[in-house]
Structure formats: structure tokens, C-alpha cells
Amino acid sequence: MSKDIVIENINTPTAFGVALKRLRKNSGVSQDQLAHLLNMRQATISDIENGRGTLESLFKVIQALKINLVLSNSSFTKDKDHKSKARKILDLLND
């Protein structure tokens, strides 16, 4: 019954918010209903959907909705500075 939905190129908080809003609306769920299910305020859901959510609230939504994140460094390959930052992040995650 469960179907994976793949949304690529979510590289900003606003893009995540747009994707979340689309998923929520396609499921026929209001912001109030989602907020109640996640034990959050409706304003927090609105903030997330408008790219203003905190990292903590984003992860709460991701975990509660069982969204799988796939991390990729493909967007960092063109810029040496980004490569360096990506390497540092990956090193921290692997420690």
C-alpha cells in the first residue's frame, strides 16, 4: 500500500516546504490536521512550508512522516570550496 515518492533537487528550506505542502495537499490533510498529528502548532507547519522552519522542526516532520533523506554531494562537485565544506561535513558525520 505504501508508495515511495521521490522528490529531487530539494536544496533549500523553501524547496522542502513546497514539497511538503504538495504532499500534504495531495493527501487531503490540512495544516491544522498535520500539526495535530505531529504535536506542533499550525504556525510551525506554515513556517516550514514557507521555508522558515527550524532544523529541529524539519527533522520532527521528516521522522513523523517517515520521509527518507538521501544525501548527495553532486551539487558540491563544481566548486572546490564546496568540496572542502562537503568533505568536512562528511568527516564530522563519520566520526
CATH number at residue 22: 1.10.260.40
Q: Is residue 5 part of a domain?
A: no
Dihedral sign, Cα of residue 46, residue 51, residue 52, residue 56: positive
User: Quick one: 57 and 76 in the same domain?
Assistant: no
User: Quick one: 93 and 52 in the same domain?
Assistant: no
**For residues 31 and 42, is the Cβ–Cβ distance under 8 A?**
yes
User: Quick one: 54 and 33 in the same domain?
Assistant: yes
Q: Is residue 1 part of a domain?
A: no
User: Quick one: 90 and 52 in the same domain?
Assistant: no
Cell numbers at residue 85, please? Answer: 565544506
Q: Is residue 94 part of a domain?
A: yes
Does residue 2 sit in helix, strand or coil?
coil
More confident residue, 94 or 30: 30
Q: Is residue 6 part of a domain?
A: no
How does pLDDT run across 59-68, given as a tens digit for each residue? Answer: 888 888 777 7
2 pLDDT higher than 70: no
How does pLDDT run across 36-45, given as a tens digit for each residue? Answer: 999 999 999 9
Domain range holding 84?
68-95
Cell numbers 532544523 correspond to what residue?
Answer: 55
Closest listed residue to residue 42, CA positions, set 55, 23, 29: 29
pLDDT of residue 1: 34
